[in-house]
Structure 1
Amino acid sequence: MHRRSPLFPLSSPLRGTLAAATALPGLLLLPLGCASSPAAALREDASSPPLQAQRKWGLAIHGGAGVMSRDTLTPEREAEVRARLTESLQAGHAILAQGGTSLDAVGAAIRVLEDSPLFNAGKGAVFTHEGRNELDASLMDGRTLAAGAVAGLRHVKNPIALARRVMERSPHVMMVGEGAEAFAREQGLELVPPEYFRTEERWEQLQRALEKERAAGGQASAPGVSPRPEDGKFGTVGAVALDQSGHLAAGTSTGGMTNKRYGRVGDSPIIGAGTYANAHCAVSGTGHGEFFIRHTVARDICARVEYLKVPLQEAADTVVRDVLVKAGGEGGVIALDAQGTVAMPFNSPGMYRGYMGEDGQPFVAIFPE
């Protein structure tokens, strides 16, 4: 059984008063080290892990944000989600524990989620208006600023693997559609038939969205208004990691948005919007992609850490709970800094998320507890 995390801003080392640290619900910020501080003990209980004063290495993941409630998420489904999040954390952590790179850990963690039908990425990708699955992904190395991104994939089993090949074996940053898949074939990556991505749950979501569109006269949303996902969830997955050498990396993968048209691409494969990493900060986002693109959410958070010298907590919270909210954008991020501080702010009702430090204890959460 996995304990649920409370969503209170907690910093490492602890800054300010306890009152200040608990002022912003919807934010989880925890260090990834081993030793508990005296102030941390004030907040320890059966549902939260101890605060730790120093980082070593670790990773954080997300499986999407959106409208999630205990009324709509059955105990069985919740258990399945928590199990896959834990498996993802363990896959990334195993690499870090052996001295592997943050890039390898991010890729391993994301592949677990891409291979599960529970998340809108890889196997669980949603359907477009035409009844196809189109997948996007990106990856960034915080040590070198190298990046790779892919969009509009229909046959690549693990888009995050192709994003890394683009980064490491091509002179480009982004490839899309048939060209990206031709490159995948050249690289010997696993391709699958379209039927691999089909799940009845996602197909039914599309049918409901099409019915709603027909009832609205054939228009999915008002002119100038970005459509929202039919099921109220932004199912993008992502991971950020800090390895034992102190290097950061970030990655994101998605199936896009149910009933999307015209080759729409969201923020997940766009470096600086849904994914960003440098020597100071690594971020992966999940949410209303058009807003994450307009406000370059991932890069904005890291820029605040780098240039304004503000704590990760403040940077992530300002962008997610202030900038995005004022703009009308919904979603959340996972963020990790060079000191091992983890922030997981979101402005939606829930977000699948988790982290794991060097102690090897997985911690996952869904609701704003």
Structure 2
Amino acid sequence: MRAAACLLLALGFGASAAEPPIAIAIHGGAGTMSREALDPEREKAIRADLDRALDAGHALLREGRPALEAVIAAVVVLEDSPHFNAGKGAVFTHEGINELDAALMDGATRRAGAVAGVRTVRNPIRLAAAVMKQSRHVMLTGSGAEAFAASVGLEPVEPSYFRTEFRWQQLQEAKAKEAAGTAVTLPASAYFGTVGAVALDRDGKVAAATSTGGMTNKRWGRVGDAPIIGAGTWADEGCAVSATGWGEFFIRLNVASDICARVHYRGDALGDAAAHVIMTRVPELGGDGGVIAIDSRGNIALPFNTQGMYRGWVHADGSRGTAIFRDP
């Protein structure tokens, strides 16, 4: 009896070890945050929300659910947090409005959905998913996107839902500098983030999702890289990327898909491809930011060229962590 029990235990470990790998990585934005400006209480809250997002996505992967579901679940947690520039914590436009963008892509099918400039959708990533699954289109914008949201039963929220005092004060500071003629080229926010997730599921498929409020004090319906397939969000058969940073440069370099193209066509390792694009190509044009990337073997890359990037990961071996600055 004891021998049989030991045999079953050994078989159980063997079956577990033979399971295909799963992995997930998330980000809450890259930018110019400093250790001095991030008080311990706020850092604790940010790390807690990063952990909650990891838990939400990784739990689905453990159940054998698709990578696409995992990245949506992780991003919803980050959109609902007031600590990131997406959903509840989004930055304000020059006119004092929150305009939200989001995108996701399923690597196995190359299906994608994106929205831009929405103002009353609590979770833009859910709307992007609906665009992908329930429409003939890839990207919807503004009032049209909101009309579509109503047609598929996504309940709207009042614009005031997105307001946080922290973001409102960032806008006032930016406008004051602009009026005084001292506005700098870089965005005025402490970090010009975005949130995102990439994941690998049991079937060896990957997906990516990204959501953002854009830049503080943006004007004229400005849209950054996050909802643009290939620039800020990309997934194919073996590689997925979600970006964060100065969107104009990520658009011009088609950053997310360029990283995966280097993996596929040149045979670059994921980490090498991501590092070259973020640490060399983007700064060469004058931009900055970071990415999270994953491949079909569970390798994860998290390069950034700014002072910090809110990020978290669960590797294929189950090891996990969160980090803000360069030291883990």
CA distance in 1, matches of 2:199, 2:144: 30
| AA aligned opposite 1:252 | T
Residue of structure 2 in register with 1:240 after alignment:
198
The aligned counterpart of 1:30 is none
SS of the residue aligned with 1:240? strand
RMSD across aligned C-alpha pairs, in angstroms?
1.5
Residues 1:245 and 1:55: Cα distance change in structure 2 (over 3 Å) = closer
Equivalent position amino acid for 2:126 in 1: A
Amino acid at match of 2:207: A
Correspondence for 1:138: 103
Counterpart Cα distance in 2 of 1:259 and 1:64: 17
Q: Give 1:138 deviation, angstroms.
A: 0.2
The alpha-carbon deviation at position 228 of structure 1 amounts to 2.4
Pick the structure with more helix per residue: 2
Unpaired runs of at least 5, structure 1 = 1-33, 36-53, 222-226
Aligned partner of 1:335 among 293, 306, 324: 293
Q: Does 1:261 align with 2:226?
A: no
Decide which of 128, 137, 150 is 2:115's aligned counterpart.
Answer: 150
* 2:39 aligned residue: 74
Aligned to 1:110: 75
**Which among 233, 237, 245 is matched to residue 275 of structure 1?**
233
Aligned residues of 1:57 and 1:244 also touching (Cα < 8 A):
yes
2:259 aligned to 296, 301, 311, which one? 301
Hey, what's the Cα distance between the residues in 2 that align with 1:248 and 1:154? Answer: 29
72, 77, 91: which is aligned to 2:56? 91
**Conservation of the 8 A alpha-carbon contact between 1:97 and 1:358:** no
The two structures have a TM-score, normalised by structure 2, of: 0.92
Q: Which amino acid aligns with 1:354?
A: G
Question: What's the TM-score once normalised by structure 1's chain length?
Answer: 0.82
Number of positions where the alignment pairs a residue of Structure 1 with one of Structure 2: 311
Query: Runs of at least 4 residues of structure 1 off by over 2 A?
Result: 357-362
CA–CA separation in structure 1 for the residues paired with 2:316 and 2:259? 25
**% identical aligned pairs:** 61
Q: Alpha carbons of 1:315 and 1:358: their partners in 2 closer, same or farther (altered >3 Å)?
A: closer
Separation of aligned partners in 2, 1:191 and 1:316:
37
- Residue 311 of structure 1 is matched in structure 2 by 269
TM alignment of 1:1-369, pairs within 5 A: 56-216=21-181, 227-357=185-315, 360-369=318-327
Separation in 1, partners of 2:67, 2:275: 24
| 2:210 counterpart SS class | strand
C-alpha distance in structure 1 between counterparts of 2:201 and 2:148, whole Å: 29
Partner of 1:11: none
Contact 1:55 1:341 in 2 (8 A): no
Distance 1:364 1:296, change over 3 A: same
> Displacement of 1:361 after TM fit?
4.6
- The code of the aligned residue for 2:100 comes to L
Q: What letter corresponds to residue 149 of structure 2 in structure 1?
A: A
Does the CA contact (< 8 Å) of 2:211 and 2:227 recur in 1?
yes
Cα deviation for residue 91 of structure 1 reads 0.2
